[in-house]
Amino acid sequence: MSTVVDDELWSAIGDPIRRTMIDLLLSDGPGTATSLSRQLPVTRQAVSKHLAVLDRVGLIHAEPAGRERHYQVDEAQLARAVAQLSAVGSTWDARLRRIKRIAETVERHRTNEGS
């Protein structure tokens, strides 16, 4: 059975620019498209598109303030995303461990019978 994950959430945090944006919003607090673009290697418009994607999947939400739009991380949603990350990680981890154990078992059998 394949791992059950929300593909939209995954693809949202799969992009390196978007991951950095989340990092920035977490470490520096709420920011705007312009303020984020100053710390990123892409234009404001590109940042704006990424913000739209993150907003659409609910990882961040905007708060209009005068002529600016302040974006900030939705903690509950990010927590959900982190949970999915670690879920996939631990699934693979468990399978790797199982494969290793089987390999060792086979090795043991081979050694015993090969004498």
Binding site for its own copies (CB under 8 A): 1-3, 5, 7, 10-11, 14-16, 19-20, 22-24, 26-27, 75, 78-79, 81-82, 85-86, 88-89, 91-93, 95-96, 99-100
Size of the residue set binding DNA (CB under 7 A): 21
CA distance 51 to 47: 6
Residue 71 C-beta: closest distance to DNA, Å: 8
The set of residues, in sequence order, having a beta carbon less than 8 Å from that of 49 and lying 6+ positions away, is: none
* Among its own copies, DNA, none, residue 32 binds (CB under 5-8 Å by kind): DNA
Structure tokens belonging to residue 66:
């005068």
Q: Rule CB under 7 A: which of 15-74 touch DNA?
A: 15, 17, 32-35, 41-46, 48-50, 53, 66-69
5: contact with DNA by CB under 7 A: no
3, 40, 54, 57 from 9: Cα distances, Å: 14, 22, 9, 6
Closest CB to DNA among 2 and 111? 2
Among residues 87, 85, 58, which one has the least CA distance to residue 73? Answer: 58
